[in-house]
Amino acid sequence: MAAGNDDDYDAASAVAEFHESRGGVHGLLESGVTTVPLIFLTPPTASPWSPSPAAFAFPVVDLSLPRAHTVELVRAAASSLGVFYVTNYHGVQQTTATTIIDSAISAVRAFHEQPRAARSAFYSASLSARPVAYATIPNPALRPGQPAAHPLLPWRDSLIVQFNDGGGSSSSAQPAGDDLPQVCRDDLLEYHRFLTGFGKEIMALLSEALGLPAERIDQALQVQGSPMVCHYYPPCPEPARVVGAREHTDASLFTVLAEDRVGGLQVWLDDDKGGGDGGWVDVPPVTGALLINIGDVLKVISNDEYKSVEHRVVINSSQEARVSIALFFRPANCGESDFFGPLPELLTEGRPARYKNLTFPQLMNYRRELGHARSSLDGFKI
Ligand SMILES: O=C(O)CCC(=O)C(=O)O
Ligand SMILES: [Fe+2]
């Protein structure tokens, strides 16, 4: 934020005061706020955030289809859109999977809708190094040259859970300590257990769809599902003037998203896919299905064979809260000396490496300084 600017100074105080209230956006509504505070508002000159301009049928990959067919569907979706749904998870009845997903969504809703004192115990404006934290995560800067994000805060509260499975072993992960709030502990643990096997399956498919052995990427990067970020988008009196999540790509290999039936997620589709010059397109929820978003790490190691999809969340409703859970599958070994880059098997003379080797901390630092949108890999391009 620019120093010496009175407007920015006031905004900074307002943000600090909001965090000190420890009740999140939902807390504002509980205290009877009927107009949206300035720190959440997009500038009046900005174009409204909803409704979304176009409709599009996103692919649903049925995992019970023959393998070759599934691999081909995954390849087509990951390389053209960077986003797809999946159903019929291996080894789990679809009805059981739907129950596990729905229970996790209900548990997240229960956490965010419990009395304020119970949730504010977890509130932490600084998220680093805590196994479990509850907060409204400030909007990041979007692009180089944009020092502050507007609006400063999204219309969203999040419960962030760090899992640690000891370096990518196949045993299921446990949250660090018994720190999960009791109201959602069992359901979120069960959901995470379910997604641990599911994530391996998705990683294997994505690997095969690049023409690589199924275990290639997991062996190289020790993929693990963490953090789990459990979002709550309260209803808003002025939905078109707030943002649920600003446009961004995910800093993951891929992200698995579960959501309730309210909707609000949109992805940016280029030219021919969205119609015309490209645009924001609604991703309507599909009951019982999980959404896979390809992230920046997979874009790099696939040497741009896969797209990392840019997405955002609009607030659709002045009546209903929306719940979603994003589980980020990332390299377990993500220290200062753990480099990754385009996989050598994918490189040819005609298609040389498009990215330098980089580490996960470098990627995160670059995003912190220069933005989370489509440009978030620019600094690593060759
Ligand atoms: O809530 C959603 O639909 C998306 C959340 C998201 O994009 C994220 O957590 O990175
Ligand atoms: Fe995201």
- ipTM value: 0.99
CATH number at residue 298: 2.60.120.330
Task: Assess if residue 352 is contained within a domain.
Answer: no
Residues with Cβ within 8 Å of 160's Cβ and at least 6 positions away in sequence, in order, are 127, 130, 132, 133, 134, 135, 137, 227, 228, 229, 230
Residue labelled with tokens 């072993």: 169
Task: Assess if residue 379 is contained within a domain.
Answer: no
CA atoms within a 13 Å half-sphere pointing along the CA-CB vector of 164: 10
Task: Assess if residue 294 is contained within a domain.
Answer: yes
Task: Assess if residue 81 is contained within a domain.
Answer: yes
pLDDT above 60: residue 7: no
Task: Assess if residue 153 is contained within a domain.
Answer: yes
Q: Is 250 touching ligand 1 by the criterion CB < 6 Å?
A: yes
Which residue has a Cα nearest atom 9 of ligand 1? 326
Q: What is the reported pLDDT for 6?
A: 47
Task: Assess if residue 160 is contained within a domain.
Answer: yes
Q: Is 309 touching ligand 1 by the criterion CB < 6 Å?
A: no
Range of the structural domain that residue 190 is part of = 30-337
> Which residues are paired to 210 by β-bridges?
none
CA neighbor of 295 nearest in space, from 59, 85, 83, 89 = 83
157 CA to centre of ligand 2 in angstroms: 14
Query: Phi/psi zone of residue 37: left (φ > 0), alpha (ψ -120 to 50 degrees), beta?
Result: beta
- Confidence at 4, pLDDT banded by 50, 70, 90: very low
Q: What is the reported pLDDT for 221?
A: 93
Choice between 98 and 375, residue whose per-residue pLDDT is larger: 98
Mutate to test the pocket of ligand 1, among 160, 231, 283 (most ligand atoms within 8 A of CB): 231
Q: Can you tell me the mean pLDDT for 270-293?
A: 81
- Tens-digit pLDDT profile for residues 58-88: 999 999 999 999 999 999 999 999 999 999 9
Which residue has a Cα nearest atom 3 of ligand 1? 265
Question: Looking at the 3D structure of the chain, how many domains does it have?
Answer: 1
CA neighbor of 312 nearest in space, from 246, 227, 268 = 246
Task: Assess if residue 362 is contained within a domain.
Answer: no
Which residue has a Cα nearest atom 1 of ligand 1? 324
Task: Starting from the CA of residue 325, give the closest ligand.
Answer: 1
298 CA to centre of ligand 2 in angstroms: 14
What percentage of residues in the chain have a pLDDT greater than 70? 85
Q: Is 259 touching ligand 1 by the criterion CB < 6 Å?
A: yes
- Tens-digit pLDDT profile for residues 112-149: 999 999 999 999 887 766 789 999 998 876 555 554 56
Which residue has a Cα nearest atom 10 of ligand 1? 250
Q: For ligand 2, a single-atom ion, which residues have Cβ within 5 Å?
A: 250
Task: Assess if residue 110 is contained within a domain.
Answer: yes
- Tens-digit pLDDT profile for residues 215-266: 999 999 999 999 999 999 999 998 988 999 988 999 999 999 999 999 999 9
Element (H, E) at 187: helix 185-208
